[in-house]
Amino acid sequence: DGGITQSPKYLFRKEGQNVTLSCEQNLNHDAMYWYRQDPGQGLRLIYYSQIVNDFQKGDIAEGYSVSREKKESFPLTVTSAQKNPTAFYLCASSIGMGTEAFFGQGTRLTVV
């Protein structure tokens, strides 16, 4: 089936550790995105990529890093510099930047 796969579904991290969230799509989409969702704040854009080997900061990029070495993959690393990393993280993709966006099922990250 075509779609966007995020893994793992739940992730626990100790303070001071880096952690990487996986996002894979088999839709042949060029654009991919990472959003963070917190209760009462809606979705906020962390990073986006319009094409392989290129990515741009979103509105809340501090403490996060990404790579886009393959068209189908856009992993997000939450670094120890992110002061409040506990949140629900959503990955999305679209054919291009202005087209319909499709989302994965999310990863819930908890810092313990």
Partner 1 sequence: KQEVTQIPAALSVPEGENLVLNCSFTDSAIYNLQWFRQDPGKGLTSLLLIQSSQREQTSGRLNASLDKSSGRSTLYIAASQPGDSATYLCAVRGNQGGKLIFGQGTELSVKP
10 Å CB burial of residue 109 (0-12, 13-18, 19+) is buried
49 lies in the site for partner 1, by CB under 8 A: no
- DSSP SS3 for 72: coil
Least CB distance to partner 1 at residue 89 (A): 10
Taking residue 41's Cβ as centre, other Cβ atoms within 10 Å add up to 9
Which of 11, 13, 80, 106 binds partner 1 (CB under 8 A)? It is: 106
Q: Point out which residues bind partner 1 (CB under 8 A).
A: 4, 6, 33, 35, 40-45, 48, 58, 90, 92, 96-98, 100-106, 108
